Amino acid sequence: MKRTLIVLGLLITLAGLTTDARADDGYRLWLKYDLVSNPQKLRDYRTSVRGWMISGSSRTIQAARKELRNGLNGLLGSEIPEVDGIGEGNILICGTYRDNPLLRGIDLKDKLEEAGTEGFVIMTGKVGGKDAIIVAANTDIGVLHGVFDFLRLLQTQRDIGDLDIVSFPRIKLRILDHWDNLNGTVERGYAGFSIWNWHTLPVFIKRRYIDYARANASIGINGTVLNSVNADPLILTHRYLVKVAALADVFRPYGIKVYLCANFDAPITLGKLKSASPLDTNVRKWWKDKADEIYSLIPDFGGFLVKANSEGQPGPSDYGLTQADGANLLADAVRPHGGIVMWRAFVYTYNPKDRAKQACEIFKPLDGKFASNVLLQIKNGPLDFQPREPFSPLFGAMPKTNLMMEFQITMEYLGQGTSTVFLASLFKETLESDTYAKGKGSTVAKVVDGSLDGHTLTGIAGVSNIGADRNWTGNEFGQSSWYAFGRLAWNHDLTSKQIADEWIRMTFSNDAEVVASVERIMLESRENVVNYMDPLGLNMIFGYDNHYGPGPWVDWSPHPDWNSTYYHKADSLGVGFDRTKTGSDAVSQYHPPLSAEFASLTECPLKYLLWFHHVPWNYQMKSGKTLWDDICYHYYAGVDSVREMQNIWNSLKGKIDKQEWNDEQMFLDIQEKEAVWWRNACALYFQTFSKMPIPAGLEKPDKTLEYYESLKFPNAPGTW
């Protein structure tokens, strides 16, 4: 009996271990091909897809074939055979006109012309008199994109009875920027170390590299910058280029090109030249020879990304030359190979009157002076990835230059890896902003996709939040912003709600309650963080060396514009940065009537009020409250909203995978504590200037300002 009990106990223990082992750890991202949960939908799908075929033999088609097999078998719960003919019908037919003769009998000319080189067509129709679903494209990569999109329809349990889809990317270059260092660390990285193991490359190819390519291809990303913008010149040595070539070979079937960040001083550090000046013929030859070497190893190498003359990085200004001179130097080297240069506009000098004006002051005079294969890569706002900024005035100010958007997917200033923040709303807010460059409707999106000024070389970049954590992004909700970036890069007309709906269904569940509840969390999450960090246009009030927590009191940096006090300007009279004509006049960098709207204290959008105006503490807001009370209510609303996020998530226990639910519950617990920390620290600090009480009825801080000022985080992720 005792032995029986021991064996029974062991079996129960093993069963428990097995259950835990099957818990979802987030590795599969949004590519979960689990059985369709809706019985009626499952029956419909099984009826509509009794078999499938895909034509062609390239590595890209082989990748699509594998995705189809795994996706259909998993979603439909049985082996769906690959067939070689239409048979009795209800077959999924995938391919190009070139490779699939069955498609040549269908009138797809106009649709495929619209789809272009990377897009696809998905439609229901008759083939040989039999019902079929068709995934057609002009190229193999278009077929792969179409396969992923069709599987997405099944994952999100959409109707596939009457399909007529033409989908194509609005922006040519859709790129992830990795801030990964060669030593395995990630600058501002909050999901562990780098996913690239440079030591074991080029021989050891981790499965993770392939799954990375799959995930990116599934949302339309077609490029990746492998290393940090603070570039180590060693990445351009032959030893590392061979490793880069190995990754390029992994990514190639998925339509993803590799790019590298180049250090402007590489001719000096690697080539032993005495100068890196664009006017030096030896320097020009060094870059040409280096480009020839790279392309001999990686024929489809995308090109270079460069950070120059910013935060200590070398650049053309060191030689009295312009940023265009520097960009064109590298552009000339890669042009014969079809390469491009992405030149970052994140350039500023120390001790400025208003750092938010500098990019426009430096680059606007250079409009039309950049080579045709250069894109100027501009951060979404004038400063530095703040929780909320107005769009950079460079969008709409340089019609003769290829302009490229740079978003941050990693949340350097948004709570980092511990917070739940869905960034689609930030991306959309920027893209939908109207520059008025050519009148009303001249949105940032139209600048970025080239339609406003007639550019065909267009791009958008997202600073990656991917690391070595098993679930890729640390906090699994970080995956949603990666997903959103790719989907918006492909089609910026999608709404935040549409993207959230897709991601929730593919990641957690198609259950209506789960979708509605998690969607509410996601769509409100960014505004919640803005409220408890930077309400009403406050910005750059973070800790000095890690951007982790609040530091509105920071005033000890030798560089004034690295101090929080430089940005909020709090004094006994009020708070906020005067960027009107009585201040820095940054409003003049925007086109009218937007410039007039921003300049008006009464007309300025409340979300940008303290960005553009120094406002008295007792100023009466449209809400009827004083500015001081309004700031307090925003800080407190931010905390209350995080607590509501916790309540919503807790209500979903048992409806979401246990491990995923537990992980997010713990992260929300961290976020609630951090929100209270932000609220208390900022309210107490600004109160020293306003001399006004925290409004009655609001929870009073339980610690002193001195306590919050004393906190140190020497080993926080992202510490300099």
Please indicate, yes or no, if residue 97 is contained in any of the structural domains. yes
Q: Among this protein's residues, is 640 annotated catalytic? A: no
Please indicate, yes or no, if residue 587 is contained in any of the structural domains. no
122, 151, 167 - which closes a domain: 167
Shared domain check, 447 and 338? yes
Please indicate, yes or no, if residue 521 is contained in any of the structural domains. no
Q: Among this protein's residues, is 412 annotated catalytic? A: yes
Range of the domain at 559: 531-577+614-710
Per-residue tokens: 444: 């940032």
Shared domain check, 539 and 390? no
Shared domain check, 183 and 299? yes
Q: Among this protein's residues, is 289 annotated catalytic? A: no
152, 167, 182 - which closes a domain: 167
Q: Which helix (H) or strand (E) holds 581?
A: none
Q: 162: how many CB neighbours lie within 10 A of its CB?
A: 7
Helical H runs in 318-438?
A: 323-334, 355-363, 424-431
Q: Name the active-site residue from 412, 519, 629, 664.
A: 412
Q: What is the pLDDT of residue 6?
A: 40
Per-residue model confidence as pLDDT tens digits over 540-585: 999 988 888 999 999 999 999 999 999 999 999 999 999 999 999 9
Shared domain check, 341 and 207? yes
Shared domain check, 208 and 149? no
Shared domain check, 572 and 556? yes
Q: What is the pLDDT of residue 14?
A: 36
Shared domain check, 163 and 122? yes
| Ranges in the chain, pLDDT < 70 | 1-22, 351, 720
Q: What is the pLDDT of residue 2?
A: 43
Please indicate, yes or no, if residue 608 is contained in any of the structural domains. no
Q: What is the pLDDT of residue 299?
A: 98
Nearest to 140 by CA among 60, 80, 236, 54: 60
C-alpha angle 646-474-179 in degrees, rounded to nearest 5: 135
Q: Name the active-site residue from 311, 555, 571, 603.
A: 311
Please indicate, yes or no, if residue 379 is contained in any of the structural domains. yes
CATH number for the domain that contains residue 386:
3.20.20.80
Distance in angstroms (rounded) separating the CA atoms of residues 175 and 186? 18
Shared domain check, 257 and 398? yes
Q: What is the pLDDT of residue 715?
A: 82
Shared domain check, 129 and 91? yes
Q: What is the pLDDT of residue 351?
A: 67
Nearest to 404 by CA among 365, 353, 370, 358: 370
CATH number for the domain that contains residue 560:
3.90.1330.10
Residues belonging to the chain: 720
Q: What is the pLDDT of residue 417?
A: 87
167, 185, 200 - which closes a domain: 167
Please indicate, yes or no, if residue 298 is contained in any of the structural domains. yes
Beta partners for 260? 304
3-class secondary structure for 207-238?
HHHHHHHHHHHHCCCCEEECCCCCCCHHHHCH
Nearest to 573 by CA among 614, 520, 528: 614
Number of domains in the chain: 3
Q: Name the active-site residue from 67, 177, 354, 384.
A: 384
Shared domain check, 694 and 553? yes
Distance in angstroms (rounded) separating the CA atoms of residues 186 and 455? 34
Q: 554: how many CB neighbours lie within 10 A of its CB?
A: 20
Please indicate, yes or no, if residue 511 is contained in any of the structural domains. no
Q: 565: how many CB neighbours lie within 10 A of its CB?
A: 18
C-alpha angle 693-698-699 in degrees, rounded to nearest 5: 105
Per DSSP, the residues of 140-159 read HHHHHHHHHHHHHHHHTT--
CATH number for the domain that contains residue 90:
3.30.379.10
- Whole-prediction pTM: 0.96
Please indicate, yes or no, if residue 202 is contained in any of the structural domains. yes
Shared domain check, 192 and 104? no
Per-residue model confidence as pLDDT tens digits over 479-532: 999 999 999 999 999 999 999 999 999 999 999 999 999 999 999 999 999 999
Look-up of token digits 């890069």: 489
* Pair type for strands 223-225 and 374-379: unpaired
Shared domain check, 180 and 135? no
